[in-house]
Structure 1
């Protein structure tokens, strides 16, 4: 370990410790909740719906949002701290409110907005940092981990990250056995294609049968695990926080050789 990055590594270690402790606490809480799948039939429209309902209080402890904010702060600070030390290692003088690890989802409208962040950093390290920018992969299907980190960090500066219970797995027609009674026609199906959604009264899957009064027997062929997610624009389940810790550690590993001058 490069001595000047010791503080950076300690922040990452602290974030990892917090993640593991929070993950265990959330797992115990989720397992203590009582949830079940309800079947609903709208006779006027013909929709038959599978709904997740929770019998216990579905609101997780708000303190978890504060803890996640601390984890996010440590990780964001670790990246900014690394850039600070890279400037010093390159015989430069870091500038407060300027030098920081840039996280740009889109190419900067003003080049100066980006270059001020890495001013004084070895050009080879600058090239690595630029290659990590989300905007260099415009066709990405999901947000980059550092993109999520930047977004959550900005939110946490102004408000508490709100924890929300979510359904953690996808569901589709292959997971459901449904047996309409008598002559019928399947007019339409729908299901959530995302990785999760709020668990209270969450519609998992639905089918519209004609005629609308047709009775249908349904059975779900999978367990429906629940998780807890944080954030708004890019909700992140707590299990993903450990991936974020690993990613920040990987970035620091890439830049560490330029901090040893």
Structure 2
């Protein structure tokens, strides 16, 4: 059962393999320079990225293909389940999602199947904003967005292996090691730390002391999240959902 859904996941995962390869090939060329500055009135270090070449256009296209296959896997499973019920399979037969709980419940109750347990099963995913299955709703939103615009990624620093802050008198104020970076509101990497005084300098080797990655842009749910671990997490969530479909059919009366 649900072989079509599993094939869609398999294809989506192959796109993830291709995406990882494309990203790695780009980053291994070190197509960027980094500049570091700190806020003299605070404790924030900002790392600015300057690209010598743009990220390959294939990255958002492969990402979109993976997203679509994973979203479609849920629709395939729902279609097959409704068929097993003897329900109506038409162009409106999709895996239900919703922006909020009331609308989501209404969508589940509107599924054209004679079996109430199927409607309850689909409702149990809670694939709406704030529900336990929010990631499946987020996948749906990504798929819709990709149908209208390119999901343009951003290249940025994800972590710093080593950075030294030196006071104006030449004394080392602190050494930052193995520090994960956050993002400011416009997508620049930043580190919040203590011990920075006006006039301090920062010693930092961009080639050996930083880890650079590719992130989602300014989008809902996955804003500035690293692309590869995020899409892998989504794939795992979809695989788990299809497993639930399988168990539901095998165990129901």
CA deviations 1:45-77 (Å, max 9, x no partner) are 6888442333522x2122321221111111111
CA 1:168 to 1:121, structure 2 compared with 1: closer, same or farther past 3 Å? farther
TM-score of the superposition, structure 1-length normalised?
Answer: 0.72
Residues 1:217 and 2:201 aligned together: yes
- Structure 2 match to 1:93: 88
- Which range moves more in the overlay, 128-137 or 45-54? 45-54
Deviation at 1:167, TM superposition (A): 2.6
The residue aligned with 1:67 is 62
The answer on 1:180 being equivalent to 2:167 is yes
Please tell me whether residue 150 in structure 1 is matched to residue 143 in structure 2. Answer: no
Structure 2 residue matching 1:181: 3-state secondary structure: coil
CA contact (8 A) 1:180 1:217 kept: yes
Take 2:42 and 2:247, find their aligned partners in 1: how far apart are those partners? 64
Q: Within 1, Cα distance between the matches of 2:42 and 2:9?
A: 53
2:214 corresponds, among 212, 228, 239, to: 228
Instruction: Check the 8 A contact 1:40/1:50 in 2, yes or no.
Output: yes
Write the distance in 1 (CA, Å) between the matches of 2:42 and 2:249.
65
- Runs of at least 5 residues in structure 2 that lack an aligned partner in the other structure: 174-178
Aligned counterpart, 2:8: 11
Shift of 1:16: 0.8
Query: Aligned residue for 1:51?
Result: 47
Equivalent-residue separation in structure 1 for 2:182 and 2:193 (angstroms): 17
**In 2: Cα distance, 1:90 partner to 1:219 partner:** 66
Q: State the TM-score, normalizing by the size of structure 2.
A: 0.74
Q: SS of 2:210's equivalent?
A: coil
Q: Note the 1:1-261 alignment, pairs <5 A.
A: 2=1, 5-40=2-37, 49-54=45-50, 56-57=52-53, 59-97=54-92, 99-109=93-103, 111-116=105-110, 118-120=111-113, 122-135=115-128, 137=130, 144-169=134-159, 176-181=163-168, 196=183, 202-204=189-191, 214-219=198-203, 223-230=209-216, 232-233=219-220, 234-235=222-223, 236=225, 237-259=227-249
Supply the RMSD in Å over aligned alpha carbons: 3.8
Q: d(CA) in 1 for partners of 2:65 and 2:216?
A: 13
- The change in CA–CA distance for 1:258 and 1:89 in structure 2 (over 3 A counts) is farther
Which 10-residue stretch deviates more, 15-24 or 27-36? Answer: 27-36
Residue-pair matches, total: 237
Deviations 1:164-215 (A, max 9, x none): 213324x7xx965423236xxx9xxxxx9875579996444577967xxx42
Per-residue deviation, 1:106: 1.7
User: What is the rounded CA distance, in whole Å, between the counterparts of 1:48 and 1:254 in structure 2?
Assistant: 46
CA–CA separation in structure 1 for the residues paired with 2:18 and 2:239: 19
State whether residues 52 and 204 of structure 1, in contact with CA within 8 Å, keep that contact through their aligned partners in structure 2: no
Gaps of at least 5 residues in structure 1 are: 187-191
Q: Matches of 1:224 and 1:60 in 2, distance apart?
A: 18
